[in-house]
Amino acid sequence: MRVRVWARLTVAASALTLLPWVGEASADTAPSGDHERTNRVEEVQVLGRSVDGRRIVAYRKGPEDAKRTVVVLGQMHGDERAGVTTARWLRDRVPVRADVTVWVVPTMNPDGLARGTRTNARGVDLNRNWPMNWRRTGRGITYSGPRAASEPETRAMLRFLRRVQPDFVASLHQPYGEVGFYADKPRLFQRRLARYLHLPLRGIDIGGPTAPPDPNPPGDLQPGGADNAPTMTGWYNAHFPGTAITVEFREHPTRRFVRGAGTALLRAALAD
Ligand SMILES: [Zn+2]
């Protein structure tokens, strides 16, 4: 389903670009250069439905097929809410370069968001449900589901990423306060991301093909190692040339950080 130009939001968002605003994460990352910028949402797509029938929605700013495409996924775990705010702020208030396609998906787990749970409505951890190195786990907060890509939320996002094939994907989480590092992906982008977000790079290949043995106990929430192999970023990095990065905000990021993070993400992704 496709809805061209969400007029009401467009008008509101355009007016809001006039507001003066400098966020914490953007204090040294304010947009610069001669690129024309636009704050219009050009397209709204429903990517699919959750278990409980809620819509999973993607918003596009910028042209449909620019040379570079960035996807910001605000949330996969329903109890990690800061990234949703970042995504909505990016969607509504941050002008983006007119030569870049930016897709914003505030949440791929609307049921978890509504319920305040990490998992989806069937108790599945969507970041353990991807079709790469999937294996069955016991029920619990990292339950991987009955089979790979068993959940409608996983399949909706998977179809979307396959179709759009972004150059950069940022998957926002909490609370570890770090940027996941993939050794076989461009390092400059990852370093910039960490620098602009003021978060440390965690030097592990989360769920990737060269992931080291998991140093953490089975079923833990800390990203890293084979225990967490079927993640979205691991799957995307293994199958596509683009770079998908897990960004863990801290447990209690400031409002200014959460708002400024979208600008920092874009700046890292688009720096030449
Ligand atoms: Zn998470």
Q: How far apart are CA 122 and CA 14, in angstroms?
A: 39
In this predicted structure, the answer to whether residue 27 has a pLDDT above a threshold of 60 is no
Joined together, the tokens standing for residue 199 give 């978060």
| Pairing, β 176-180 against β 201-202 | parallel
Q: How far away, in angstroms, is 189 Cα from ligand 1 center?
A: 21
Q: What is the pLDDT of residues 78-89, one digit of tens each?
A: 999 999 999 999
Stronger pLDDT, 196 or 35, i.e. the higher one:
196
Q: What is the pLDDT of residues 223-271, one digit of tens each?
A: 444 444 689 999 999 999 999 999 999 999 999 999 999 999 999 998 7
User: How confident is residue 215, by pLDDT bands cut at 50, 70 and 90?
Assistant: very low
Most confidently predicted of 101-115, 135-149, 171-185, 187-201: 101-115
Q: How far away, in angstroms, is 14 Cα from ligand 1 center?
A: 32
Q: How far away, in angstroms, is 105 Cα from ligand 1 center?
A: 15
Mean pLDDT of 157-162: 98
Closest CA to 109 of 161, 57, 176: 57
Number of domains in the chain: 1
- CATH number, residue 104: 3.40.630.10
Question: Can you state the angle between helices 82-93 and 255-270, rounded to 10 degrees?
Answer: 60
Task: Please report the pLDDT score of residue 202 as a whole number.
Answer: 84
Task: Please report the pLDDT score of residue 181 as a whole number.
Answer: 87
Q: How far away, in angstroms, is 76 Cα from ligand 1 center?
A: 6
User: How confident is residue 184, by pLDDT bands cut at 50, 70 and 90?
Assistant: confident
Q: What is the pLDDT of residues 103-115, one digit of tens each?
A: 999 999 999 999 9
Task: Please report the pLDDT score of residue 34 as a whole number.
Answer: 64
Task: Please report the pLDDT score of residue 18 as a whole number.
Answer: 34
Q: How far away, in angstroms, is 180 Cα from ligand 1 center?
A: 12
Q: How far away, in angstroms, is 32 Cα from ligand 1 center?
A: 31
In this predicted structure, the answer to whether residue 21 has a pLDDT above a threshold of 60 is no
Q: How far away, in angstroms, is 144 Cα from ligand 1 center?
A: 14
Q: How far away, in angstroms, is 35 Cα from ligand 1 center?
A: 34
Q: How far away, in angstroms, is 85 Cα from ligand 1 center?
A: 15
Cβ-Cβ contacts under 8 Å for 197 (sequence gap 6 or more): 25, 179, 247, 261, 264, 265, 268
In this predicted structure, the answer to whether residue 16 has a pLDDT above a threshold of 90 is no
Q: How far away, in angstroms, is 110 Cα from ligand 1 center?
A: 14
Q: What is the pLDDT of residues 197-212, one digit of tens each?
A: 999 998 654 444 444 4
Q: How far away, in angstroms, is 117 Cα from ligand 1 center?
A: 11
Range of the domain at 69: 2-270
Rounded to whole angstroms, what are the CA distances from 228 to 67, 132, 136, 155, 215?
32, 10, 12, 18, 11
Q: What is the pLDDT of residues 119-145, one digit of tens each?
A: 999 999 999 999 988 988 888 999 999
Closest CA to 142 of 81, 217, 234: 217
In this predicted structure, the answer to whether residue 6 has a pLDDT above a threshold of 90 is no
Q: How far away, in angstroms, is 11 Cα from ligand 1 center?
A: 33
DSSP structural state of residue 6:
-
